[in-house]
Every structure is written in structure tokens, then in C-alpha cells.
Structure 1
């Protein structure tokens, strides 16, 4: 986080920023001096944290943004607002996660769909929009961090750059994003693997 600290105008997006890893990451980025757009459905918790950080006199600022990651329309509206108000995103932490107790053999399709919408599609949409934001502004030191959680006894699908892995939890890796011609770009994406007992995941 020191990499972007003290640089005026740098903007970070943190999904699932109301609790747990997301809230902690947002807090540290604000402490480092960044403008942090915190995204979650529960905006009240983010507003409380924003007030506390402002009162502490940190050089950065948290901007709470209510967004349902099940909805591509809401995600795109959020990015449009970020572009209008802050020009774009330099750092993205895709942290939001959702788990329903829906087994493979007896689960409900609606539960699977909600998990895929948040855990896979929302991550992909946010990654795409952040990358396009970086590319439009010629940002050459941007970073996208994807938080991958492993629940004991459950199979999680994970996707890495280049399509080389389609199942099972990855170890922490760093890979360069590539364009359609497989030319390396200077932006970087990191997959961080966290095990269930050490983190927080929305279960409903």
C-alpha cells in the first residue's frame, strides 16, 4: 500500500468494503492517503468507518457507494460515477464474496446463480472495467487484487489469467494481464488465497 501512498489523486475501489477484509483494506488505503471507493450493499457500516477515518485526520478519504454486485447495471453505474467524480480507478481489490448452503446434488439453481453472479461475474466485470479505466488514462502502475476464499469441504472454481486453471484453490500468484494479441501490459493482477477460518464471507 505504500506504493501509492502520498500520491495525490490516486483512487482505489474495494468491493465488500463494509466488513472484514474489505473494511480493513479500505481503512489501510485511506491511511496511506488514497481516495477509496468502498462498495457494498450495507452502506451504513461504510459511512460509519468513513466518519471515523475522517475524524482521525488521515490524508486519504473513504467514499461509501451502495452497490448490489448481483446487478451488472448497478456495477456499471458505479463505474460511471467513479469516472465522473474521480476520473477512474488505479487500484481494485475484488473482495466481495457470497456463499449459500446449496450442495451440488440438492442445491437450488437460484442459490448457485447468486453465488456465480457475485463470486465470478461481478469480479470479471469489475476487473474489465478497472482495466479499461487504466488503459484510457495510460495508468502504468495499476493493480487488481482478487481475494479467493476456500471453504473446507467445498469445491470453489477459480480462474487465472490465460485460462490455465479452472478449478481448485490457487496459491498466491501474480500474473500480467494480456491483451487480445497476448502482449504483456504493465498493469498487474494478483490472486490472494485465504482460507475460511481466517476471513469473513457473506453466508445466507
Structure 2
């Protein structure tokens, strides 16, 4: 039986790949055989990530591309560069994201727009310009990073703009999946709970916040490095050829209670 999770010969784009789980995803895709274009705003960090992955997997092509996913012109240029380098795009992992924790009565419009533009509009724009190439080849795997907070709310930390954006990602995933299923393109999402990243380590990993999280989460702990990789690999591979429009919550059981 063929290994349905083998990505040898595939090419992938990972946005938000300069730190945190984006780096883990890029490394995992390379480990499974894919060549990877990593995108983010901070080129110096991207370059270091590319060098790290290349040192570990010298047979892979890892290219860093500076790109702000809120800027359509930068996305167009990035996709053109990937096509020039690889000639095709098999996998798109929309992972770029930010969060703002401000009560709604104090939430400035500019701050709201910043989160929605990055977390939701970025998914729309990246998908828009990649899916055209996938459609031509009648093959594609799009994986969006949503969140458990796209389904649930937080009583202790006000993340209203983030909740709205990630809820939008979940439903955008469904809509795009329905439209492009007949073109051989699957579109799915992961919904992580608490994982350590630049975005969470100084807030949600404080002693008080972690104690509160662990008391509620059925598994009694946050996610560990690598525990999102299985879900991403499934959605990025041929194993999910008949699975589309789904969001898999990798959350230690948070959303079941």
C-alpha cells in the first residue's frame, strides 16, 4: 500500500513561518518530502528558519519570502516567486495570525482591523491567488489555521477580534471547500487550543492563566510541540482526498465540554 502521507515531490507554502508553530509545520512538511516556501514579514527570522531546515534536510528546497499577508500586492509577488522557483503549488498552509486582548468597549477600530486583516483577510487573499494555480492542475490541499476560539468564547481573556476572525476562517473554509471540491482541491482547517508561541508565551503561559486553562481543559495541560503536526499532515496529504470543509479541533478536549 502506498504511503498516503508521503509528500515527496510536493511543493508547499507556509505563511506565518518565522516562528512558533509555523516553523514546526514547515519542518514537518520538509520531513515528509515536500519543498517549502516559507512566508512572513520578518525576513531575517525567515532566513534563519530556512537555513535551519536546509541543514536538517539538505535534499529539500526551502525558500524564504518576505510577505505581509494583509497586502495583496505582496502576496501576488510571493506566489509568482514560488511558481518561478517550483513551477507548481500543491499545498497552502495559511498560518499567519495575531491576537489582541482588549475588552470591546476599549477596542480601537484600528486594532480590530489589524487582527481581522491578518487572521481572516490574509487567508482569503492567499487562497485567492494560490487556488488559481491549483485549479489549473486540478489538485490542491489548503489547510487553514483557525482556533478553538473560533467556536468557543473566553470568559477570562477578551479576544473579541480574534474570535470573530477565527470564526470567519472556519466558515470561509467551508465555503471555499464547497466551491472547489469539484476541481480536486480540498480545504480544511485545524483549531488549536493553547500552544506556546510568541503570541501566547508572555500572556497565556503566565502562572495564573496556565492554572486556569489546565483546570478547565479535560487533558489538564496545553498542547506540546509537534502535537498539531498529525492533523496538518493529514489535511496536506492524499490521505484526505475525500475530506473537505472540515475543522479538526486539536484542543485536549476543550471544545467537547
Do the structures match in fold with TM over 0.5? yes
1:60 aligns with 2:60: yes
| TM-score, normalised relative to structure 1 | 0.79
1:32-111 equivalences in 2 (<5 Å): 32-111=32-111
1:1-204 equivalences in 2 (<5 Å): 3-7=5-9, 10-139=10-139, 142-150=140-148, 152=154, 153=157, 154-155=159-160, 156-157=163-164, 158-159=167-168, 165=171, 177-179=177-179, 184-195=182-193, 197-200=194-197, 202=199
Q: Does the 8 A contact of 2:69 with 2:75 survive in 1?
A: yes
Gaps of 5+ in 2: 201-257
Structure number, greater radius of gyration: 2
Give how far 1:176 is off.
7.5
Give how far 1:177 is off.
2.0
> Number of aligned pairs?
188
Q: Does the 8 A contact of 1:12 with 1:90 survive in 2?
A: yes
Which structure shows the higher strand fraction? 1
Give how far 1:185 is off.
3.5
| TM-score, normalised relative to structure 2 | 0.64
Give how far 1:101 is off.
3.3
Question: What's the secondary structure of 1:18's corresponding residue?
Answer: coil
Q: Counterparts of 1:75 and 1:48 in 2: how far apart (Å)?
A: 21
Gaps of 5+ in 1: 167-172
Q: Does the 8 A contact of 2:35 with 2:62 survive in 1?
A: yes
* Structure 1 residues 50 and 131: alpha-carbon distance in aligned structure 2, compared to 1, 3 A threshold: same
- Deviation string, structure 1 residues 83-123 (Cα, Å, up to 9, x no partner): 22222311011111111234321111111111111111110
Q: Does the 8 A contact of 1:38 with 1:46 survive in 2?
A: yes
Q: Does the 8 A contact of 2:30 with 2:57 survive in 1?
A: no
CA RMSD, Structure 1 to Structure 2 (Å):
2.8
Q: Does the 8 A contact of 2:14 with 2:26 survive in 1?
A: yes
